[in-house]
Amino acid sequence: MSLNIALLGNPNTGKTSIFNKLTGLSQKVGNYPGITVEKKKGICKLSNTTKAHIIDLPGTYSLNASSIDESVVIELLLNKNNKDYPNVAVVVADVENLKRNLLLFTQVKDLGIPTMLLINMSDQMKRKGITIDIPMLEAKLNTRIALVSIRENKGLDLLKELLINYRELSVKPTIKFEDIDQHYFDHLKNTFPDQQLYKLWLLITQDINFAKIERKKIIDSIDFKTQSERNLKKLQQKETVKRYQFINNILKNTLVIDKESATDFRSKLDRILIHKFWGYVIFFLILMTIFQSIFDWSSIPQDFIDSTFASLSEQLKIRLPEGVFTSLLSEGIIPGLGGIIIFIPQIAFLFLFISILEETGYMSRVVFLMDRGLRRFGLNGKSVIPLISGTACAIPAVMATRNIENWKERLITILVTPFTTCSARLPVYAILIALVIPQGSFLGLNYQGLMLMFLYLVGFGMALISAWILSKTLNIKSKSYFVVEMPNYKLPLLRNIGITVWEKTKTFITEAGKIILAISILLWILASNGPGKDFSEAEQIVKSNHKQLNGDALSNKINSHKLEHSYIGILGKSIEPLISPLGYDWKIGIALISSFAAREVFIGTLATIYSVESNAEETIKNRMASEVRADGKPLFDLASGISLMFFYAFAMQCMSTLAIVKKETNSWKWPMIQLVGMTLLAYFVAFLTYQILS
C-alpha cells in the first residue's frame, strides 16, 4: 500500500526535523510547477506493506494566505487531482505554542481531509511546566494525537501506526459556519449542495490559482464574490474568532502551564544576543570564527583532492592509448571537475555553520538585530533573510524575497542580493587568497581567513550602498512593518545538520558539475583545434624557432603555441586589450566569459586550459602559481589577485540568477539593469585596484 502524507505547520514548529527523521536521505528537492517556491518530498517505510510519500509543505500560520508560499499549501489541499494530494494531513504543533498552532489544524480538518495532530518537542514539557491531557484533547478535537520528541526519539512508532490507520480519523468539521453568518453560509450551501462548505469559502476569499473554472462558476452563478472586500474580511475575522473560541474552550480543560516552574533562559540570552551593541559584536565574532575555520579545517582534504586529481589525470595519459578520447578525459573532463571538487570541504563547512545557526534559533535573532540598521538603507527587516541566505546561493535568496509584502522593498532586495558573497564565489576566492595572500597571523587570526571575511563584508556593504541609492532613486511610494517570530533556543540535532549539509553540498556539486562538464568539453574542443598553419604546423614552427629545447620543455612550448593559436586562444586574444588594464591575460579572460554560466566555472576553466597547455603533473594551484607574464613576473600577484577578487565580488557572473530575477520581477528590464550596472561597477573597481596596487 502507498499513501501521500502532507506535513503542515507554523514556522519553527520542528516540521523539518520530523520530515528528516521520517525520510532520512530519501529526499528530493524541487520547485512547484510554474513557481519558484521550494518543495521537499521524501519516502518513508511505515511498515512492511505500507510506503508513504511525504511532502513537506511551506510553513504557514493559517489557510488565509498572505504570501505566495502559503498559497501553495491551499492549492494542494483543494486540488484532489494533484498527484501529491494527501490521503492524510499531519499538522505539526509546537508544545509551547499549541493554541496558535491549533488554528491551522482546525482549518485543515474542516477541508474534509483525514487530519491528525503531532505535538512536537515533548521533551520540553517538564522544563516549561506544561501538562497536556492527551486522551481528553483527542476526544475534544475528534482526532488522534502523537506526542513526539525527535531529540529523545519518542513517539515515532505511534506516529507511524496512526498514519497506517489514517482511515479511522474523523473528517467531521470543528466549527459550524452557519454560526458565523447564518444567511450567507446557508445560501452558499444551498447553491452548491454537493460541495464541501469550507472549500467553497476558501475559493471565494483566497487569491489562488487552483480551480479557475470552479471559481468562475461561483462568481458567475451568484454574487458571493461581489460582496465588498470589507464584508468578506469581516466574515474572515469572525471565522478566526470562532475558531479561537473553540480552541480556548478545549485547552481550558486539557492544557496546564505552570509558569513558576518554567525557566527564563530564553529572555536572559536574548538580552545579550540582540543587544544593540553586544549583539553586533557577538555576530561579528561568530562570522570571524566561521571564516577562520573554513580555511584552517579544509586545507588538508583540499590538498589531498587537488593532488589526487592531478595524479589521476597524469595516470590516464600514461595508461590509456593516445587519442582524442584520452586527451578529452585527461585534459578536459578530469581537470575541469577537479577544479570544483577541490572546494567540497570549504562548501560543506560553510553549509555546516549556516545550518547550526539556523538550528539553534540564532538566525532569527540576527534578522531582528539587523532590522534596526537596514531601514535607513531602504530595506525591510525581512530583507536580511535573502541577504543572509545569499551566502549559500543567490537563486533561493531571490526566491525568499516573496515574504516581503512591499513591492519597492522587495524589488530593492532582489536587485542587491547578488552582491552577497555566495558559495559559488568561494572557490574563486579560496584559490586566489591561497595564491596571493601570505601565510601568517595577526593576533592569532590568519591573514587568509581575515581576507575572506573582508570580501564577505565588502559584498554586504555594497548591497547596502546600492539599496540606499535605489531607495532614493526609485519613484515607488511604500510603507511597511516588520514582524518576526523568535523561536526557542535549542541544541542543534546532528541528524538535521548532517542531512542539510549533505543535500546542499550534493546540490551544489551536481548542479555545478553539469555546467562544468559541458563547458570543459567545449573548452577542450576549442583549445584542441584551430585554423591555419600556426596551429596545424605548431611542432615544426616551435622546433625551428627554439632549436635548443628538448624533452618536456619542447613539448610544453609546442602545446603552449597550439593553445595560443587555437580557437579559444584567438577568442582570448581578441578580448585581451579590454582586460589587460585589470591585470588579466587572455586565459583569465576566457575564464571570465565562461564563468558567466556559473561563477565557480572560473577555476575549472583555468584547470582545463592549463592542462591542455602543459603535460606536467601539477595541481591547479601550482600551475596557477607558475604562470608568468611576458616580462617574467608572476601573473597571479597581489595586484591581479585582489583585482580578480573585487571583480567577482561585484560582477553578476551568473546567468541562473538573471533568469530568476526576470521570473520574480516579470520583466527583462530589471535583470538587464542589474547585469550592466554590476558589470560596469566590477570593471571600474578591478581597474582601480590593479592600477593602484601595481
Q: Which tens digit of pLDDT belongs to each residue from 222-257?
A: 455 445 556 777 888 888 889 999 999 999 889 887
Residue 616 has pLDDT above 70, yes or no: no
Q: Are residues 179 and 326 in the same domain?
A: no
Q: Are residues 246 and 303 in the same domain?
A: no
Residue 635 lies in a domain: yes
Question: Residue 257: CB partners within 8 Å, gap ≥ 6?
Answer: 128, 129, 130, 131
Residue 499 lies in a domain: no
Residue 19 lies in a domain: yes
**Of 690 and 481, which is predicted with more confidence?**
690
Task: Using alpha carbons, list the distances in angstroms from residue 308 to 312, 510, 603.
Answer: 6, 20, 17
Length, in residues, of the chain: 694
Residue 489 lies in a domain: no
Among 466-475, 605-614, 643-652, the range scoring the smallest mean pLDDT is: 605-614
Task: State how far the Cα of 296 lies from the Cα of 289, in Å rounded to an integer.
Answer: 10
Tell me the per-residue pLDDT of 43-98, one tens digit each, with 9 for 90 and over.
888 888 889 899 988 888 888 876 666 777 888 888 888 888 999 999 999 888 88
Q: Are residues 539 and 674 in the same domain?
A: yes
Q: Are residues 664 and 568 in the same domain?
A: yes
Task: State how far the Cα of 486 lies from the Cα of 360, in Å rounded to an integer.
Answer: 11
Q: Are residues 290 and 378 in the same domain?
A: yes
Q: Identify whether the C-beta of residue 542 lies closer than 8 Å to the C-beta of residue 550.
A: no
Q: Are residues 662 and 587 in the same domain?
A: yes
Task: State how far the Cα of 110 lies from the Cα of 177, in Å rounded to an integer.
Answer: 10
Domain of 87, in residue numbers: 1-263
Residue 441 lies in a domain: yes
- SS3 labels along 142-155: CCCEEECECCCCEC
Nearest by Cα to 87 from 46, 48, 127: 46
**CATH number, domain with residue 63:** 3.40.50.300
Grid cell in block for residue 20:
528528516
Residue 490 lies in a domain: no
SS3 at position 452: helix
pLDDT at 652: 84
pTM for the structure as a whole: 0.63
In the structure, what pLDDT confidence band is assigned to residue 511 with cuts at 50, 70 and 90?
A: low
Q: Are residues 546 and 674 in the same domain?
A: yes
pLDDT at 221: 43
Last residue of one domain, picked from the residues 425, 441, 473: 473
Tell me how many domains the chain contains: 3
Q: Identify whether the C-beta of residue 73 lies closer than 8 Å to the C-beta of residue 65.
A: yes
Task: State how far the Cα of 251 lies from the Cα of 64, in Å rounded to an integer.
Answer: 23
Nearest by Cα to 625 from 435, 348, 405, 477: 435
In the structure, what pLDDT confidence band is assigned to residue 115 with cuts at 50, 70 and 90?
A: very high
Tell me the per-residue pLDDT of 623-658, one tens digit each, with 9 for 90 and over.
788 888 877 788 889 999 999 999 999 998 677 788
Nearest by Cα to 425 from 403, 398, 458: 458
Last residue of one domain, picked from the residues 263, 294, 311: 263
CA 454 to centroid of chain Cα atoms: 22
Type of residue at 258:
D
Task: State how far the Cα of 331 lies from the Cα of 308, in Å rounded to an integer.
Answer: 15
Q: Identify whether the C-beta of residue 361 lies closer than 8 Å to the C-beta of residue 496.
A: no
Q: Which residue has the cell 513526539?
A: 148
pLDDT at 421: 84
Q: Are residues 288 and 351 in the same domain?
A: yes
SS3 at position 445: strand
185-212: average pLDDT: 73
Q: Are residues 451 and 583 in the same domain?
A: no
Q: Are residues 579 and 530 in the same domain?
A: yes
124-148: average pLDDT: 88
Residue 589 lies in a domain: yes
345-362: average pLDDT: 80
Q: Identify whether the C-beta of residue 278 lies closer than 8 Å to the C-beta of residue 126.
A: no
Q: Are residues 321 and 242 in the same domain?
A: no
In the structure, what pLDDT confidence band is assigned to residue 162 with cuts at 50, 70 and 90?
A: very high
Residue 533 lies in a domain: yes
Task: State how far the Cα of 82 lies from the Cα of 77, in Å rounded to an integer.
Answer: 9
pLDDT at 69: 66
Task: State how far the Cα of 130 lies from the Cα of 396, in Å rounded to an integer.
Answer: 38
Q: Are residues 405 and 431 in the same domain?
A: yes
Question: Mean pLDDT score of the chain, rounded to an integer?
Answer: 80
The string over 470-497, giving b where at least 16 C-beta atoms fall within 10 Å of a residue's C-beta and e elsewhere, is: bbeeeeeebebebeeeebbebebbeebb
Last residue of one domain, picked from the residues 414, 447, 473: 473
